[in-house]
Chain A
Amino acid sequence: MVGPVARLELADVSVALGGRDVVRGVSAEVSEGELVVIVGPNGAGKTTLLRAIAGLVPARTGSVRVLGHDPARVARRVIAQKLAYLPQHYELAFPFVVEEVVLLGRYARQRGLGIASAEDLAAARAAMAACDVATLAARRFDELSGGEARRVIIAQALCQGAQCVLLDEPTAGLDPAHARAVFATLRAQCDGGVTAVVVTHDLDLALRHAASMWLCADGRLAARGAPDAVLDSAATRSAFGVPIHVGTLPGGGRFAVPA
């Protein structure tokens, strides 16, 4: 039997920022169609780990592979066709409208002046529908609410058409319904073969939608595995300083709350 193909491979990755190791000796793999969430306290190195996978910050030691490529060395255009990255903060210097912002995600697939093709427009419309921002298409991005802007950027990442997506706190600032919808969309993308790695503080949604969970503490992966097992572990308790209670709802659904 052939196992699932590893899309992302991290081998003993350490990343230094300002002379200090922020990520230390992380080794892990993410397979095709897998939805991995990274949880951990503030300053644990989650964002830096994600940026290292995206090739936006070089690994000091160890190796990062995205579909076999080193993302910090291969041309950005090549990486962007395989991997989309949603940063934690996104601010535009000029007043582009929503549709233009989403279409920026198609950069790596366009040539010449990059006038949007039928294929580009179809990808953008599908992504905007999935993120519930289709009705905002003609609105100025800088005039959106925080949650709306967040959803637009998620749509930009999805319309990139990459096999791997990395999202840094996609649900920050979103109302509960839209936060759940974002995870449901990601789940559907992963069922279609996309590999997703998501940094989040939304433990409850992570528990329900993720296939596996990485606990990041002090730059290391302190625990890895099924979300309920990781949330229930002693490592999680010590990392957050409070125990996380994982329970079952009367209807059978799971929930996670700080106890």
Chain B
Amino acid sequence: MKNTDVESAPRMPLWVKVFGIAFLVLVLAFVVMALSGHGPGQHMS
């Protein structure tokens, strides 16, 4: 029988790792575009 006091936390599911990487890439792409002059406010007249 497992002892609940020494039970370790479950591992992170694969879908969370895939999502995390994809989301990080999206945020980085947005930051790079903003810094390179293609971001928000660049088209404001």
Q: Do A and B bind each other?
A: no
